Amino acid sequence: MIKKNVALVCIAAVLFLAACGGQSGTQDLTGEALLKIKCKRCHSYKRPLEMRMTRQQWESTVQRMWERDPEAMTAEEVQKIIDYLARERGLAE
């Protein structure tokens, strides 16, 4: 009985991973949602929302944060966060 249960759990895990396609599950999230999930690994997600910067400054800042923990986000997630911050907390250049 235990072997049967273990086999079923293994099959379910393989099917689950195949259905996920190896993705992190964040590809459909908005920049705001990614900010709340990813940036809080190191600081409050509200911290960047208290600042205003030009798009170039946001790009530089988010890139610097990503370099500190490159496994935290994908390049696509970084770009979504930059786009969100530049749109919502940006300054004219």
Confidence (pLDDT) at 4: 56
Domain count of the chain? 1
* Within-domain flag for 13: no
* Within-domain flag for 19: no
* Within-domain flag for 6: no
* Within-domain flag for 51: yes
Confidence (pLDDT) at 65: 93
| Host domain of residue 76 | 26-91
C-beta separation of 80 from 36 below 8 A: no
* Within-domain flag for 21: no
pLDDT tens string, the chain, 93 residues long: the values are 666 554 445 454 444 444 444 445 777 899 999 999 999 888 998 999 999 999 999 999 999 999 999 999 999 999 999 999 999 999 987
What is the C-alpha separation between 51 and 58, in angstroms, rounded? 10
Q: 82, 27, 18: which is closest to 56 by C-alpha?
A: 82
Confidence (pLDDT) at 16: 47
* Within-domain flag for 10: no
* Within-domain flag for 50: yes
- In one-letter notation, the amino acid at residue 69 is D
C-beta separation of 77 from 40 below 8 A: no
